[in-house]
Amino acid sequence: MIKFFEYNWQVRDEWIAWCSQLTNEELLNERQGGAGSILYTLFHIIDVEYSWILGIQGKEDIIFQFTDYNTLEDVNSLSKKLRNEIAEFLKTNLDGLKKKAVSVPWDEEQHTVDDILHHIIAHEIHHIGQLSIWARELKLQPVPANFIGRERISVNSF
Amino acid sequence: MIKFFEYNWQVRDEWIAWCSQLTNEELLNERQGGAGSILYTLFHIIDVEYSWILGIQGKEDIIFQFTDYNTLEDVNSLSKKLRNEIAEFLKTNLDGLKKKAVSVPWDEEQHTVDDILHHIIAHEIHHIGQLSIWARELKLQPVPANFIGRERISVNSF
């Protein structure tokens, strides 16, 4: 499971670097489908991941407003800051936790920690797939999405 | 790991059902980015998954030509047929296999079984994210991608 987080974070950083070739206006441009704009998609991925990780830990959700993070630098800072906290949590032994049922304020159903971790992982990969289409529509080459054939970065490096 | 395969196969079936509202011409229409067309994307996901699973088993790759599977019915049949075989393989205990290094003819590098399974999973989720953008461009609602909040289908059902 941890390998998917490492993969997602590496790919996310590559997309954030990729974004630096665009103006902030292009990053905020409303696009068809997905979460709306390229920058909002990245913000949304970060926000959703953190909310679920807080939920797993039984901590109160922290709501971030996109208007406070609507530049690439702000999104990058938020990503790095929250990721440090998430990496620390993921380094702890999750095996005993996986079957634990979790309730969160934004969902009526309870979910196991294991399912929530799957959900966070699939959520990011899905949205990154969307960015890759928008990249081609902008006549730009997307960040490669391959899981294999990339240098691996350990959760300990984040 | 198996949960991601179950999720991917369920979402894939929902996309195949979703496709039935489009004509074959629309399904084959060349789109920007991704693997090209909606139908080719589904074929590509199926083909890549199977090739890697054959590779893990040390079996020779089987090459499928899209020209032989360029209708929704053909792609659906291929998906179901290969999936039966893959499900049987995944039901065996993979734990002892995960660290095994695998060589395949289309890649110079060796990869562990564990990494290949991660690769197959991320590959499908990524391409499905791309379909969701194309759906919106066609003014259609995409198949929901949530991992949680969906009825779970076990690998034993495939």
Q: What is the pLDDT of residue B134?
A: 97
The tally of domains found in chain B comes to 1
Pairs of CB atoms within 8 A across A/B: 114
In order of A98, A154, A157, B68, B128, the CA distances from B11 in angstroms are 23, 30, 33, 24, 8
What percent of chain B lies above the pLDDT cut of 90?
A: 89
Is the Cβ of A138 closer than 8 Å to some Cβ of chain B? no
pLDDT at A117 over 90: yes
Question: Is residue A33 in some structural domain?
Answer: yes
Question: Is residue A113 in some structural domain?
Answer: yes
Best probe of the B interface among A12, A42, A56, A133, by most B CBs < 10 A, is A133
Closest by CA position to A10, among listed A102, A124, A111: A124
Question: Is residue A138 in some structural domain?
Answer: no
CB atoms within 10 A of CB B96: 9
Contact B101, B110 (CB under 8 A): yes
For residue B146, what are its two tokens? Answer: 């949530």
Closest by CA position to A47, among listed A69, A26, A30: A69
ipTM for the predicted complex comes to 0.96
Tell me which residue range forms the domain holding B108.
2-133
Question: Is residue A35 in some structural domain?
Answer: yes
pLDDT at A22 over 80: yes
Q: What is the pLDDT of residue B78?
A: 98
Beta-bridged to residue B112, according to DSSP, are: B101
Do B129 and A129 make contact, defined as CB atoms within 8 angstroms? yes
What does the mean pLDDT of chain B come to? 95
CATH number for position A57:
1.20.120.450
Dump pLDDT digits (tens) for A122-150. 999 999 999 999 999 999 999 999 999 88
Dump pLDDT digits (tens) for B111-126. 999 999 999 999 999 9
Q: What is the pLDDT of residue B94?
A: 85
Among the ranges given (A86-100, B38-52, B74-88), the one the predictor scored with the smallest mean pLDDT: A86-100
Q: What is the pLDDT of residue B92?
A: 86
Which residues does B10 contact at the CB level (< 8 Å), separation at least 6? B150, B153
Q: What is the pLDDT of residue A74?
A: 98
Label residue A99 exposed, middle or buried (CB < 10 Å: 0-12, 13-18, 19+).
exposed
Question: Is residue A146 in some structural domain?
Answer: no
Label residue B25 exposed, middle or buried (CB < 10 Å: 0-12, 13-18, 19+).
exposed
Average pLDDT over residues B55-65: 96
pLDDT at B158 over 80: no
pLDDT at B84 over 80: yes
Q: What is the pLDDT of residue B155?
A: 78
Q: For residue A118, give the nearest of B4, B34, B135 by CB distance.
A: B4
